Structure 1
Amino acid sequence: MPTKTRRAPRHVLFLLTWWVAGCIVALAETPSPGLPTELWPPVGVGFVLLTLVWDGRSRPDQSAIGVSALMAATFFGFALVFSHPVVEAAFMAVTNTLAAVLMTLAYAVTKDQAGWAPRRGLALLGMVLGAVVASGLLALVGGFPDLAAGRFEPLTLWWAIRSTIFAFIGGATFLIFFHGDRERWRRTTPPSRLALAVLVVVSPICVFLVFVDPELPLTWFLLLPAVAAGVSLTPFGAAVHALAQALTAGAMAFLPFDQFAYVGVLPPSLLVDLLLAVSTFVTIQIALLRDERERANSAEQELRQQADARATLLGQVFDSMSDGMMLFSWEGDLLRYNPAVRHIFGRPIPETLTPGLWSDYLGLCHEDGTPVQDNELPGGPGLRRHQIDAVIGRGGDRRFVEMGSWPISDSEILVLVADVTDQRRRTAELAQFAGVVAHDLRTPLMSLRGLLELAAYEVAHGKTDELAPLIERAEGASARMERVVEGWINYTLVREGRLTPENVSLTDVAEDVCGTYRESPHVGTRIAVRAPHLVRADRGLTRQLIANLVANAVKFSPPGTPAHIEITSTDDTEAGWVRVEVADRGVGIPTGQEHRIFEEFHRAPGRSTRIEGTGLGLSLCHSIVTRHGGTISARNNEHGGATITFTLPAAD
């Protein structure tokens, strides 16, 4: 489809050359008295030329007006060259130019399409109408040689028909050449090109035979090749065929064996011309219909491919969603579901299930344990738009789901199922965190407040000698709050921070950590380090991991007894990993708590009030190890204390 109306200057120059040639051909022939010339192309050539400089929608600009003036001046000059009187030459120049303008305007109004090239039959009919109106008015005003204005006689009709035929054939073919889809012609298949080559030879031969033997049936020899061209060629090829047929007929008119005379109101010579015009119309019309059908089929195929692609994409999205999606009919039949539904409910989804048994089959309950009834499920009668929370399973295996339904058409209902177990767990953790925060900060904060009030009282009563112990205790309370806050910050950084792996010496890190415990106030603490391995880990997190484990061991040592800690490393049973153990001789781990001590905010039962802590230390260790891809576990050892074992990647 062309995107521009204005063509390159070379196209305009080419048509101006044809305008000059058309003027010469039209004016050089001196017709016999009472007869028109055999060729009169100015109106058709001028029509095509004007389409190159005007878009047909806006007002004609200077280029269109200038080209029109140049056309009139050229016609006038050649009319003088061929001995036409000045007045007659000027009149014919103006009227023929105006006829071309009128045909252009008429076609622009009636074509009912974008662009100049005809793309449907209505545009061709508009072109015929424009040619008839322009040539008819031109004949009535006497715009042809030796034709008086306002006379209604056979010669007037002959001139009008001759000009109309040349205007239509020339306009229809050259508009396709200059404004048609050239890319379509370049993509023409070899069989179509071969058909064009054959028809361009056969059609002129048929025209030649008609002129040689007028007794031959004109319709067969002129219209059959036209129909064949229409059903086998593109619009561009059909235009080439029509022009070749018309040019052959025009050339035959000048040969001595032309036996078609001007007898009667519609002489045989004009009948041949009319048949050529009909042939051109039929050829191009059939080709345009085929082209329009092919475009429609191509557009339909493209839309179908787009629809298939969208359906495939939606299907992939449907199947890959983590939330469950179930499509039901209004009658309650399950039409489709995605794999997430099977994963969430933990059992196969039957294609058919007796109404009233869905809740029982899936094991859906309310949070209070009462079964969910089928008439409560989203999508059921009266619940086309409905949401419900349900529980699947019991005890520690309970999972929470949210279900909602939305009608998506007059016959289908979409039910969404979301597993919100992790969300509920996280909400519970946040609530627990809030409780831990309140508990851990309340005691030192209340202590700090009380100490400050007591200090203010002492100052008010002049007892300044009692301030030092109070300030020292207040600093201790403040330090406890600082440690609590620092623990939360460290935990967040470990969970969300970025790892920077490098080769790390376990001995260096452990000795650095243990150095602080070999000094006051931890005099007597015994720490043995036998960890010669190098690991591939984040140095800062590795230090924090060992520091937390050592601090935990020191914190849970028996009252009045120095802590005894051993840090050892060995090759893990899995190649490429190092196993590290931190063993103490403290109070050990309560039975059944070996796994829970790594949970967030967890504290061993019976020790929460005696020993200060946030419940984040071992959870922090768990996060550090798992972020490195390792494992961590805890057990009681033969000394009654606890042994924490973890693995880290071995160094390169």
Structure 2
Amino acid sequence: MILIVDDKSENLIALKKILETHNFSVDTALSGEEALRKVLKYPYKLIILDVQMPGMDGFEVAEAIVGYSKTKDIPIIFLSAVKINKQFISKGYLSGGRDYLVKPIDPDILVLKIRTFIRLYEQTDELNRIQQALLEEIEYRKEAESKKDEFISIASHELNTPLTSVKGYLQLAEKAFEKDNKDGIRMYLDRTKTQLNKLNQLVADLLNTSKIVSGKLEYHFKDFDFEPFIESAIDIIKQSYPGKNIIKTGRANVRINGDQMRLEQVVLNYLTNAIKYSPNSNDVFVEVTTPSPNKVTVGVRDKGIGIPKEKQQQLFDKFYRVEESSNRFQGLGMGLYICAEIIKRHGGNFGVQSVEGQGSTFYFTIPVTKKTV
């Protein structure tokens, strides 16, 4: 449910009608004091708060809401028709607001923002529940310490990539909003939605702890075009690491039958590792080839620290980390193990070619369903 707070009833009626047209459940409050009473009584997913009100103004109401442990995570959007200079906008964010909109507002943009913030709130709430479930599970699994560590490591690693992407796309949407770039806002919010859907699927997997501990993640196979898939994965990394040059060579106009989200995890892991382990180079290369008509290979090459030959065979083992680099680079040693399991499930193979001090190429090959035009 959404709570709209405004001291003018005509504003409440107009905004309530807009939101209910888009199937939102809406409640209203005519003062800050009434809003605080309702916030403590009912579970709201978002609050739209007018800045100028008699008694408690919007900033004071927001500070009070953020101060309650029960309500501190509820996203707040400020609306103002008068206080639109930088000082008041900054005060809105400092008071706990997630956004500051100036009247008159574009209903389409407002609805897009509301949907995004509600999804983020729901994901945060879900992750909090998962965290509590994990704490309870850890207490139960003290007799199986190694399995507990494995579970937490996989959970942390798999959730990190979509969360980072969500943050990056929201920052870009905010910049587009400042420039009144509506097309840009919609594009970045759509990309945020895509990443949140991926995160939601990962959360669903994590809730089934028995499958995670045993390594039996759920897969959803379907046909998809390879080129848009690989370009999308590269774009995610470009947005997350704007200072890096991701250079793609080769093209494969083919269709794949597989779990697109899981395979994207592999590509993103390869790319983030390439960036991580080549701190003195800004270039990372994605090389796409078709070694045979029924196979496609993706190689990610960097100019980084490289890996000693005697260590390369163990890189895809569970928890393995190269001792020489473990003190310089953080990591749990789970990423490549997860990648290996995903590629195996797709009937493919994987490997690494590396020369110490010169760089590495991590690759995988998977079957092709058919060629496309």
Normalization by structure 1: what TM-score?
A: 0.24
TM-score under structure 2 length normalisation: 0.41
Between Structure 1 and Structure 2, the one with more strand by share is: 2
* Larger of the two Rg values belongs to structure: 1
Larger RCO of the pair (alpha carbons < 8 Å, separation 6+): 2
